[in-house]
Amino acid sequence: MTESMRRSDEYEYEYGNPTGHGSPQGPYAQQPSHSAPVNPEWPPPPSYEPPTAPAGTPQPGPAAHKKRTRGPVAMLAAVAIVAAAVGGGTAYAFQELTGKDTAASAGTTTAVVPTGKRGDVAAIAAAVSPSVVEVQATLANGSSTGSGVIITSGGEIVTNNHVVSGASSVKVRTSDGTTYPAEVVGTDSSKDLALVELKGASGLKTASLGDSSGVQVGDTVVAIGSPEGLTGTVTSGIVSALDRDVTVSTDENQGQGQDGGDGQWPFQFGGRQFNGDTGSSTTTYKAIQTDASLNPGNSGGALIDASGHVIGINSAMYSSSSQSSSSSDAGSIGLGFAIPVNTVKSDLAKLRAGSTS
């Protein structure tokens, strides 16, 4: 009996006054929530346990808690996967276009003109000039000088077929004055296009190829090339007309004489012959007409829109100097043509495959 009472007192002392100070006796002594009160006249303390749900109510278990916690994470992961898929698809499309790791599509590799500088010739020239080169071809009966556009950082250059046609060797000079030996990879005389690849080049600045389907008559354009060997010459004008039928010769020896450049390359437009006779072997393509000054040596260079995207490859121009020795008659008369860049892009796979048509 005594032992029982002593243990009860000890229990009350330990739990009724956790600090161990003061008397544990009396009605105000704290009681543990899980034990009966010392004085049965005092009601038990309120329970702080979570209310028990009625029988049959589903209880949230650990799995449900995890599911709620991971919901936002799962959503973020899904968004990341979708974004990666879209980005990957876009990159794949660009690589399919160029066949290289470095794409030359609009807005991918070349810093184009800022919105506030749109249409500013100086800004366009600064952005695109490093991507335009001079092409020098050695022929059996002389030489040819034209221009080209860098489309991959490893040194793929798009130019005109008539600039390199029949060449025994080709050299390319970049805007910084570096000269590279080059080889002709493929040609397409039906579109007057050729693909040249530099040897030992890397880290070149590529042009941003635009979309010629959106070009409109009256749009501001800039032409960059190497007229008469003057590398990096810039001229400007507008788009004069679209879908002009331009007929050029497919004869590799046509009009290419000793140091003749490409100024004598003949073409036909509107039933008239320019720069000589095109001969019997010809091809016709749809061209962008421009009044931007084009002169011998501009062939293969870039025609650029107000945002700095290449929309065409300059290919034919009337040079009155071929008709007269008078200096007053020499130079551009504002009649030039460019191959639409969409035609170029659609022809790249064929050129890379080594076509010699």
301-321: pLDDT as tens digits: 999 999 999 999 999 987 665
| Residue of higher predicted confidence among 151 and 40 | 151
Q: Which of 56-65, 233-242, 320-329 has the lowest mean pLDDT?
A: 320-329
Per-residue confidence at 323, pLDDT binned at 50, 70, 90?
very low
Query: Which pLDDT score is estimated for 221?
Result: 98
CA atoms within 13 A on the CB side of 19: 5
Query: Which pLDDT score is estimated for 254?
Result: 53
Query: Which pLDDT score is estimated for 59?
Result: 57
Task: Report whether pLDDT(182) > 90.
Answer: yes
**Spatial separation of the C-alpha atoms in residues 350 and 70, rounded to whole Å:** 51
Give Cα separations from 353 to 100, 149, 187 (angstroms): 13, 19, 10
Catalytic residues: 162, 192, 299
Task: Report whether pLDDT(4) > 60.
Answer: no
**Spatial separation of the C-alpha atoms in residues 22 and 244, rounded to whole Å:** 108
Task: Report whether pLDDT(290) > 70.
Answer: yes
**Spatial separation of the C-alpha atoms in residues 108 and 65, rounded to whole Å:** 45
Q: Which of 40-54, 77-91, 122-136, 266-280 has the lowest mean pLDDT?
A: 77-91
Task: Name the DSSP class of 267.
Answer: E
- Note whether 192 and 339 are within 8 A (CB): yes
Give Cα separations from 242 to 167, 282, 289, 323 (angstroms): 32, 21, 6, 27
Query: Which pLDDT score is estimated for 109?
Result: 44
**Helix, strand, or coil here: 146?**
strand
**Spatial separation of the C-alpha atoms in residues 237 and 121, rounded to whole Å:** 10
Taking alpha carbons only, the member of 347, 349, 283 closest to residue 316 is: 283
**Helix, strand, or coil here: 223?**
strand
Q: Which of 138-142, 276-280, 293-297 has the lowest mean pLDDT?
A: 276-280
**Spatial separation of the C-alpha atoms in residues 335 and 239, rounded to whole Å:** 11
Strand-pairing partners, residue 213, are none
